[in-house]
Structure 1
Amino acid sequence: MDAHLLEVRDEVFRRNPGETEFHQAVNEVFDTLAPLSARHPEYTDAAILQRICEPERQIIFRVPWMDDAGNVQINRGFRVEFNSALGPYKGGLRFHPSVYLGIVKFLGFEQIFKNALTGMPIGGGKGGSDFDPRGRSDNEVMRFCQSFMTELYRHIGEYTDVPAGDMGVGTREIGYLFGQYKRITNRYESGVLTGKGTGWGGSLVRPEATGYGAVLFTQEMLKTRGQSFDGQRVVISGSGNVAINAIEKAQELGAKVVTASDSGGYVVDEAGIDVELLRQIKEVERGRISDYADRRGASVHYVSEGNVWDVDCTVALPSATQNELDDKAARRLVESGLIAVAEGANMPCTSEAASIFQEANVLFGPGKAANAGGVATSALEMQQNASRDAWSFEYTEQRLTDIMVGIHDRCFETADKYGMPGNYVAGANISGFKKVADAMLAQGLI
């Protein structure tokens, strides 16, 4: 990182104390911008850098609601509208106890460049709450979502800010949020939220899109070395939406996925994960990964509170949460014969782990590129809502495939152009940053 970039980065850190995840995201981008700065200093002028790191709007609000026992509960809600140079703010809502402003800003900052890489006209934003839907009844989740939307509705709209789901926010939560928005505004504004049910404005392939997209991106990386998913031994973390659909698509392409995990532990299934059983337990019954082990039989080994990255593999798809794969795990995976990693979650590899993979010549797809399939299909959902149309599964999946191939190619070609061949982190950061900076320069000082 050159002195100019370092100076601006340090000022961002000073102005945002204690937000370690946001610092990590900013540092990862700045660390790759020196070649762009050398060729095009106008892109890394302090005014552009400072503005791109400062959200256009940060909203924090109280969310009061009543639980089933009649007790009043108070949570905190967030929406960070980070950058609208390319289009309305677009990014998910996360409901999880770990959510605080630094997490939301980290996710929103990543979202700016992720959305730019898709080629779709969407800006970057993110939001959520420290509410934990796990263990809550449907009525409690509904009351929370209604209270949350009672404040959020005044800040969103199909041409302003379009939230979606993220960790802890699935079709159930989006349904309650959308119902309250419709109730308050007296408008059936389908495009205000994405991730809706397919019977009332949602898009086919949206539930599968992030997991499918991560696998499609990995397949393109493997092709650059004359390989494919066929015959690969794959370790995937998590057992939520992203992980389940990544397992399904990887096995469809010929891989054997041997793991899934949750906060209680992980399973190793040497016969290959049974996707339908896992989907039934996690999405229908809202059960635990230990239930999968109990019902799958002798082929499964369950490890409570263990680290899924202790399992040998040739391809790793971390799909649970940020910073789940550290330097120690990265070294062990490299020694076991790892050839490719793609981030299904948002920055699940620590910066040290990412460096180890790159130094070992392991193909490494950063989250802002590899997991962009979800937001890309959200943008396709917005298109369908705007035209009062609904596309087939096959057509929408082909659009997703084309977008993910395009993202891969932009990252690969940009890295090569700026003298860092095969460095997908640099390619993604420079390509996304340049697209946003071009729009900001064109629109003036705002």
Structure 2
Amino acid sequence: MASFKIEGGHKLNGTITPQGAKNEVLQILCAVLLTPEKVVVKNVPDIIDVNKLIFILGELGVKIEKLSRNSYSFQADEVNLGYLESAEFKTDGSSLRGSIMIVGPLLARFGKGYIPRPGGDKIGRRRLDTHFEGFIRLGATFRYNKDESFYGVEAAELQGVEMLLDEASVTGTANILMASVLAKGTTKIYNAACEPYIQQLSKMLNNMGAKISGIGSNLLVIEGVVSLGGCEHTVLPDMIEIGSWIGVAVMTRSELTIKNVSWENLGQIPAVFRKLGIKLEKIGDDIYIPAQNSYEIQNYIDGSVLTVADAPWPGFTPDLLSIVLVVATQAKGTVLIHQKMFESRLFFVDKLIDMGAKVILCDPHRATVIGLDFESSLNATKMTSPDIRAGISLLIAALSAKGTSIINNIEQIDRGYENIEARLKSIGAKIERIEN
């Protein structure tokens, strides 16, 4: 297992171009299974989770060609369904939570889809009920092998239906949407997630010949079609990585430009950072962050303490709460961080407390941060990354800290961030990857 050695306390400077959106591309890659024709996907990030899914697609018999560093073509004209019941698939699929989204396309096109219980971040319970309840509503038969933690759905034909999702799950919406496009008749999905990732998937499916309306709303209407064709699709920049780079700039008091961020798809992200007192400028489609020696958290208009909480789109994404928490440790003022969705995501704050941050973990979902206003810097320490977002948050804290920090289990960071140490070095960070 590898580690990062970070010499903190250095100012950075330069320009960063964000990678393609991890959470979008995992959906997009699963959608290639819906057609026997060639699909070209551009701006694919070179990260562990995406590469695992590409490997699984290859094992399924999808013809994969790497066209350039971040572009691929996929053709699923000879899918090997036998792989789904193999011991290898039970290992491969269980290591990646995003693999759940192959079930919808396989069910729609081939009448069956199987998946081992997926892995991923240890950030709390992440139910699959929404996915399978949607498939059952479309007419699939569900079965679960408890001994092997193996799920399956089968259907001779899917039938369009109206459904109200029990939660606005992004992956659940994507999975049901992909199953619905080849169903007979009309499907209406209410309480659908409407994140930019779902909008992108819907636009791609329409380019393939699907008939989806209501894109961007929480009511998706899908008129089933007989078959889909190929297309070309470009993945959006990763909004979570953009937020992470804002955190890097602010915590190191550095000047940074983030290129081509797709401002219209950032939602609440710029507004939340501004509420923390951070200056952000929109220059074309770039974000410019000037060097700031201090930033003050805004209170509510009645003087009460600001709360930053996650919510379904267009609310603030839960994936950036860890970053906001770290940024708040050096702000002037106090903020309450409320992580509603996942009950274990704030459990990395003990590492920040060890570094000298003033954080009170109120309960599994809430933490109060009392900012130090850079009057005392964080202290370097040795720590372990528990998940992708906590990992990058600890990395940002280490870049701010005086002294040399070690972060173990950085494979968690590699799951979501492409070539992170080289990109940090390009703007002046002192970081080194150590193979243990």
TM-score (norm 2): 0.29
Structure with higher RCO (Cα < 8 A, 6+ apart): 2
Task: Answer with 1 or 2: which has the greater Rg.
Answer: 2
Higher helix content, 1 or 2: 1
